Amino acid sequence: MKKASFFHLCRKQLLAYSLVGIAAWLAACGKGNGYGGDNPPPGNTNYSISASLSGTQEVPANATTGSGMLTGTYDPSSYTITYTLSWTGITGVPTGMHFHGPAASGQNAAVAVAITGFTAATAGSTYGTTVITAAQGADLIAGKWYVNIHTAAYGNGEIRGQITSTKN
């Protein structure tokens, strides 16, 4: 009788310890630690990025009727920009497309990232993914990057848009 009672007691303790362990594990994986469920860990927040491109934003400004739009995301945990860039009404086929920075609106900056693989047409779109540095990412989030499209008629850039970001 004592053996049965001892084993019965051990089974109850093992079950109780198991349940406590499972509860602790669920709390760590769930909302109990502030990172589960609807609460991602810090630094895991992406940004939406966008820019509206026009000739009036180029420095110096120009009178082109061309326009464009950049949309995308920036992931600061991997320093990755994913984007779609579209344009219409420019004076000729694009000869270059770039992300530039750091520069505030009304200022020029060096090319930070070249955009390649675009369509040689006066209207079109391209998309891509690029990895940047942490410092470039900080400038991007601070609004110190722009994107522009160059043509033969406007070698320094026909349309340009200052990039804005919004935390998701």
Q: For residues 35 and 91, which has the higher predicted lDDT (pLDDT)?
A: 91
Q: Cis link prior to 102 (omega < 30° from 0)?
A: yes
Mean pLDDT of 19-32: 45
Element (H, E) at 160: strand 159-162
Which residues fall within 8 angstroms of residue 144, CB to CB, at 6 or more apart?
A: 101, 102, 103, 104, 109
Note the CATH number of domain 47-167: 2.60.40.200
Mean pLDDT over 20-39 rounds to: 44
pTM for the model: 0.74
Among 71, 72, 66, which Cα is nearest to 94's?
66
Tell me the pLDDT tens digit for each residue of 85-126.
Answer: 999 999 999 999 999 999 999 999 999 999 999 999 999 999
For range 8-26, the mean pLDDT: 48
State the Cα–Cα distance between residues 130 and 134, nearest whole angstrom.
13
Q: Is the pLDDT of residue 37 over 90?
A: no
If 0-12 CB within 10 Å is exposed, 13-18 middle and 19+ buried, where does residue 151 land? buried
State the chain's mean pLDDT as an integer.
84
Q: Is the pLDDT of residue 162 over 60?
A: yes
Above 60 in pLDDT, residue 75? yes
pLDDT for 45 equals 87
Determine the pLDDT at residue 86. 98
Residues 6 or more apart whose CB falls under 8 angstroms from that of 126 comprise: 84, 85, 86, 97, 115, 117, 118, 119
